Homo-oligomer: A and B are copies of this chain.
């Protein structure tokens, strides 16, 4: 017999982990709902044609394809290479993110949806990446988007959602960094290299890791002149408060309409007259975010610096997401929570509340038929009053039953032995404090667990 195992990069979530993950999901979901976002769920399987070509050449390779059923040998024999074989044998694939299925859903249901459409979606996705620490082949994404509106009020709302969720999770010291793609586009305009926008942003994004010298070398290799590079280095050297940064940018971008538009958008969001943030967003001009489809504000949330966890969320404004499926001109903005990393941060900072770890509150020991019958009745009453409880199903040695209670970390043990039965009471023992008391059923039901 083969020793059972699970596929590389996948995980079983045991009871304690499921409860803590649900605490995170519930917190985020609660805020989404409070902000008027509506839940959507799409199938795990999409048609391969829906996904193919949407994530670049590298992405295509990482999509998990599902083998067609039925007679496929003939088709297999026509394949010239492994890549073609995959497309000949598979009509369906596992979803790779939540964004493309969302766009597909919007196009399919465009006549029923009330726009602007505020939707959230919390579901697993699958990617054939090489598994590594913190990188899984099956993981949850947790997204909220508003599509069909250009209003910068949406930017404010989504920033405020990050702010509210991380505050509710008790996470102190997180940073919300913002930038605007139009500012980066303006920079490329300034150096007269709009066609190199992507290269420039990729290099800037690495400033943290490779320093100004590294950025210079990369840009030289990409064909920028020293004068161009000086403009870029001067740009990323702009620091100060949000106000100081915005003031300097206004000067820098006098010759660039695009750049100025980005500055004004950023300013309108940061200085919005609507609401205050618990943690004020910080302008970070080196923030680029990889995805090319962003066109306006971009956002990234960093974990508190003490935990060295990096990004725990991100998003931005995009145009024309649904154009891929035949519905052009719909602008939107979306954010995403990195649930696995948030879990690690909360664990490391010990921020999971006791309620997120609570399972059975009371276990009734089983001291034999007649006593067990009474214990069962008491237990049912407790359950009816909302206290999670159970009875050990066999009248095993009490040692064994206590071992079970301890292993399960059940805080209270209730015992009805012969003497308790005769007095119409039960013994309730708090396993954390060792305290034990004799209670009537009424007292049990009124007990403050």
Interface, chain A (partner B; CB < 8 A): 1-7, 10-15, 18-19, 22, 33-36, 38-47, 49-50, 61-62, 64-67, 69-73, 76, 79, 81-82, 85-86, 89-92, 94, 104-105, 107-109, 112, 114-116, 118-119, 124, 126, 128, 137-138, 146, 149-151, 153-154, 156-157, 160, 273-275, 325-326, 359-360, 363, 372-373, 376-377, 380, 383, 386-394, 403-404, 407-408
Contacts and interface: CB of A to CB of B under 8 A. Distances in A.
A46 B11 CA distance: 10
Contact of A12 (B33, B35, B43, B407): B43
| A-B CB proximity, top 10 nearest | A36-B390, A10-B43, A15-B38, A151-B393, A114-B407, A274-B376, A18-B39, A36-B360, A13-B41, A65-B67
Nearest to A373: B273
A45 B7 contact: yes
Given A104-B4, A128-B69, A326-B1, A35 B390 contact: yes
B66 A66 contact: yes
A376 B275 contact: yes
A47 to B, nearest CB: 6
29 contacts: A1-B325, A2-B49, A4-B50, A4-B325, A4-B326, A5-B47, A6-B47, A10-B44, A12-B42, A12-B43, A15-B38, A15-B40, A18-B40, A22-B39, A34-B383, A34-B387, A34-B389, A35-B390, A36-B388, A44-B138, A45-B137, A64-B66, A66-B66, A67-B89, A71-B82, A76-B79, A154-B393, A273-B373, A274-B373
A345 B42 CA distance: 23
Nearest to A136: B43
A296 to B, nearest CB: 14
Contact of A67 (B40, B66, B151, B275): B66
A81 to B, nearest CB: 6
A276 B76 CA distance: 61
Identical chains in the assembly:
2
Nearest to A150: B394
Given A7-B91, A79-B73, A118-B390, A45 B126 contact: yes
B154 A107 contact: no
A67 B41 contact: no
A41 B66 contact: no
A2 B104 CA distance: 11
B3 A34 contact: no
A103 to B, nearest CB: 8
Given A12-B109, A45-B137, A114-B408, 13 more contacts: A4-B50, A7-B46, A7-B91, A10-B44, A22-B39, A35-B383, A36-B389, A36-B390, A43-B138, A71-B82, A116-B394, A151-B394, A273-B373
Contact of A82 (B72, B85, B109, B150): B72
Contacts of A92: 7
B43 A388 contact: no
B39 A6 contact: no
A5 B43 CA distance: 11
Contacts of A114: 403-404, 407-408
